[in-house]
Amino acid sequence: MNATEILDVLSSHGAVMRGHFELSSGRHSDLFVQKFRVLERPRLAQRFGESLAGLFPQDFDVVAAPAVGAVVLGFATALASDARSVFAERVDGEMTFRRGFEIAPHEKVLVVEDVITTGGSAREVVDLVTRMGAEVIGVAALLDRGDPARSGPHGGLGAPLRALVTLEVKSWEPSECPLCAAGQPLEDPGSRRIAR
């Protein structure tokens, strides 16, 4: 799937909505993302996994994903590339491999993330894998929200980032929100989905 097809799928399932929304942070935004509207459909997740694997055509042995959000995509990407699928989870605030997951020092690893905003979780998995002596060949993401605060080589992720779709997302404090100023009412993404 190319970027336009993927964006169509994300939009038609309500995984990406354009409008006027209040984020959990309290800021207002012109975009709302609920990735599980697509990831709850295994055949779509499978196709995204194939596309994610295609972003890095070189061989890799392991796909590593930050739990919980990226576990489904990590599995689908590993399935498409015949790699192992492992995930890291937070223990006392630290990304850690539990459940006996091991990565050997010579192995090549693709980190898979669902939505990259600051890239913090993906960066932690890159660092974790690198500390184990393995090589991270890149970070493959479903959606890059293009956070302008991200900076440095590879956007500060520690490995090359490639995303299936990149969307510029704007957000504002409510007092500075141009959508509020234009009188556009706030929308509840849940109700729009039910109304469809």
Chain residues in the site for Zn ion (CB under 5 A): 28, 177, 179-180
Which token pair is 61? 């042995």
10 Å CB burial of residue 166 (0-12, 13-18, 19+) is middle
The answer to whether 56 and 80 have CB atoms below 8 angstroms apart is no
CB of 115 to Zn ion, least distance (A): 21
Separation CA 129–CA 125 (nearest Å): 6
Nearer to Zn ion, 110 or 177 (CB): 177
CB of 175 to Zn ion, least distance (A): 9
Nearer to Zn ion, 33 or 163 (CB): 33
CB of 180 to Zn ion, least distance (A): 3
Closest residue to bound Zn ion by CB: 177
Q: Which residues of 94-118 are buried (b: 16+ CB within 10 A; e: fewer)?
A: ebebeeeeebeeebbbbbbbbbbbe
CB of 73 to Zn ion, least distance (A): 31
CB of 154 to Zn ion, least distance (A): 33
Nearer to Zn ion, 132 or 180 (CB): 180
The distance from CA 93 to its chain's CA centroid, rounded to whole angstroms, is 19
Separation CA 42–CA 88 (nearest Å): 21
Separation CA 74–CA 133 (nearest Å): 21
CB of 103 to Zn ion, least distance (A): 44
Nearer to Zn ion, 153 or 185 (CB): 185
Nearer to Zn ion, 53 or 177 (CB): 177
Nearer to Zn ion, 42 or 190 (CB): 190
Separation CA 97–CA 85 (nearest Å): 12
The answer to whether 89 and 96 have CB atoms below 8 angstroms apart is yes
